[in-house]
Amino acid sequence: MRVGAMGDVLHALPAVAALKRARPLWRVDWVVDPRWAPLLVGNDERGPTVDMVHLAPAKNWSKAPLSPVTLKSVLTLRKRMREEHYDVVVDMQGTLRSAVIGRMAAAKDIVGYADPRESLAGIFYKRKIVRRGVHVVDQGAALLSAGCGVQLQPGAVEIPRAEWAENWAEQEAVLSRPMAVLAAGGGWGAKQWPAERYGALAIELKKMGFDVVVNAARNDDATAGDVVKASSGAARMVVCNVTGLISLMRRADLLVGGDSGPTHLAAAMGVPLVALFGPTSPERNGPWGPGEKRVLRDAASVTSYKRTRETEAGLMNLSVERVVEAVKGIVGRG
């Protein structure tokens, strides 16, 4: 159970991949929001880590919780999970919704943290596991280890490929290399470095020889548009869904971004990156993966996870010059 969001799914993936390597003959399925399914399975609905995904369109359910469409969707999910006769459900999300969905599977055992994100989730668990580890990747591995009785060390992950997206990236999205991706968005305003600074950074990256791309989920993405505008033509916007973003990231030579899904995707795929952190803790939520990384966080930043609209004060202290120096430390361009 790890329905969303993008970064959370990616942080759960190393533990699940380790389980599949340790027990390749075990059936391992995943409940996920449809938006993030491309991180787990390809067009054939199978993936390198999981055998199958069950889709839980949680965002749509929240918009119309009492509608007949939502009820049908929930009942369909319940039926399909019960048909698989699972032995254990491990709730790696720890919310009331994920715990309820997990309980709907009617597995012999349902396991979750002793201190779930939402305390009411705990009433649905048959076994409660004490949280261990600092980073959420390590916490997830410890939880899954206890839930399945297999000692796991989180390791490398493989992200599925989609042929159409690979062709799109090769023929349309990627114009030249090296390519730098700016992931300027973030779950809420406090985590977002100002668009004007991303624009100024794009100008510097262009001077260093990068084709600078700002990823966007929609044509009208205001944040990405503001970055492109502030870059005075140094950056261009590339609009794509998650499947396209995966293929774009496969060809990236650098990513600069905040605590966001694209940053964590780059980390999982081994893309060299500079991550800009403010109100969230990099020790707990930082980019995790095999590539070279620089994580910048000002001493004034306070871990709060408050979903405020304005950029957090400590994050505002990170200058364009400091980010450029971090980039040079990775890519070696003066």
Q: What is the pLDDT of residues 34-89, one digit of tens each?
A: 999 999 999 888 899 999 999 999 989 999 999 999 999 999 999 999 999 999 99
**Is 320 part of any domain?**
yes
Does one domain contain both 327 and 179? yes
Same domain, 204 and 251: yes
Cα torsion at 251, 18, 134, 193 (round to 10°)? 20
Number of domains making up the chain? 2
Q: Is residue 198 part of a domain?
A: yes
pLDDT in tens, 47-60: 999 999 999 999 89
- Whether residue 187 is predicted with pLDDT greater than 90 in this model: the reply is no
Judged by DSSP in three states, 109 sits in strand
Domain assignment of residue 204, yes or no: yes
Q: Do 185 and 144 share a structural domain?
A: no
CA atoms within 13 A on the CB side of 308: 12
Q: pLDDT higher for 46 or 196?
A: 196
Q: What is the pTM (predicted TM-score) of this model?
A: 0.96
Would you say residue 74 lies in a domain?
Answer: yes
Task: Kindly state whether residues 233 and 321 are assigned to the same domain.
Answer: yes
Domain boundary among 100, 117, 148: 148
Residue 49 lies in a domain: yes
Residue 220 and residue 114 in one domain: no
121 & 58 share domain = yes
- Shared domain check, 318 and 186: yes
Residues 127 and 18 in one domain: yes
Over residues 224-249, mean pLDDT: 98
Percent of the chain with pLDDT over 90: 94
Q: Tell me how far apart the alpha carbons of residues 262 and 116 are, in angstroms, rounded to a whole number.
A: 25
In a domain, 103, yes or no: yes
Query: Mean pLDDT across the stretch 127-134?
Result: 98
**CATH number for position 71:** 3.40.50.2000
155 within domain boundaries: no
pLDDT of 334 strictly over 70: no
pLDDT tens by residue, 255-302: 999 999 999 999 999 999 999 999 999 999 999 999 999 999 999 999
pLDDT over threshold 60, residue 179: yes
Same domain membership, residue 32 and residue 167:
no
Q: What's the one-letter identity of residue 60?
A: N
Residue 228's pLDDT band, with cuts at 50, 70 and 90, is very high
- The phi and psi torsions of 184 (rounded to 5 degrees) equal -85, -15
pLDDT recorded at residue 333:
55
How big is the chain, counted in residues?
A: 334
Sign of CA dihedral 265, 268, 269, 274: positive
Residues 208, 65 share a domain: no
Q: What are phi and psi of 297, to 5 degrees?
A: -150, 125
Residue 157 domain-assigned? no
What is the average per-residue pLDDT within 19-48?
Answer: 95
The residue among 106, 124, 148 that closes a domain is 148
Amino acid at 164: W
Alpha-carbon distances, residue 320 vs 2, 168, 187, 293 (angstroms): 35, 32, 22, 17
Last residue of a domain, one of 101, 123, 148: 148
Average pLDDT rounded to a whole number, residues 133-162: 97
Report CA-CA distances (Å) from 295 to 54, 82, 260, 280.
Answer: 34, 43, 13, 12
Please give the residue range of the domain that contains residue 14. 6-148
Q: Please check whether residues 42 and 187 belong to one and the same domain.
A: no
- Report the distance separating Cα 34 and Cα 126, nearest Å: 27
Are residues 292 and 168 located together in one domain of the fold?
A: yes
CA angle (23, 26, 30) in 5-degree steps: 110
pLDDT of residue 43: 83
Positive/negative CA dihedral, 194, 218, 326, 200: negative
Tell me the average pLDDT of the chain.
96
d(CA 189, CA 185): 8
